[in-house]
A and B are shown apart, each in its own frame.
Chain A
Amino acid sequence: MTDLLKIESFKLRKKLRAWLGPILIFLLIMISFPLTVELASDELKNVFYSILWLSSLLTVMVSLDSIFLEDFDDGTLEHYLILNNSLFSMILIKIFIYWLLIGIPISILGTFFSISTSGDFSSFYIAFPSMLISSYIFINLFALGNSLSLNKGSALGALITMPLLFPVLILLGKIVLNANFGFEISNLLLLMLGVLLIIIVIIPFIISFVVKTHLE
Chain B
Amino acid sequence: MLSNPLLEARNLSFSINQNKLFHGLSFELLYGEALHIKGGNGSGKTTLLKILLGITSPRKGHIKWVDNTNTVYLGHKNVLKDYLSVEDNLYLHGINSAKTSTKSILKELNLLNKIDVLVGNLSYGQKKKLALVRVLLNQSEVIVLDEPCVGLDDKTRAYIVDFLNAELSKNKSVIYTSHIPIEINSKKINIDKE
Contacts and interface: CB of A to CB of B under 8 A. Distances in A.
Interface stretch (A8-16, A52-60, A107-115, A134-142): A8-16
Contacts of A14: 81, 83-84, 88
A11 B92 contact: yes
Given A3-B94, A79-B73, A216 B57 contact: yes
Q: Is the interface of A mostly helix, strand, loop or mixed?
A: helix
B78 interface: yes
Contact of B55 (A7, A10, A215): A215
Given A75-B75, A79-B73, A82-B71, A11 B55 contact: no
Interface in A5-29: 7, 10-11, 14-15
Contacts, number: 49
A79 B78 CA distance: 10
8 contacts: A10-B91, A10-B92, A11-B92, A76-B79, A78-B77, A79-B79, A81-B54, A215-B56
Interface of A: 3, 7, 10-11, 14-15, 70, 73-76, 78-79, 81-82, 85, 212, 215-216
Given A10-B91, A74-B78, A75-B76, 7 more contacts: A14-B83, A14-B88, A75-B79, A76-B79, A82-B53, A216-B50, A216-B55
Interface of B: 50, 53-57, 71, 73, 75-84, 88, 91-92, 94
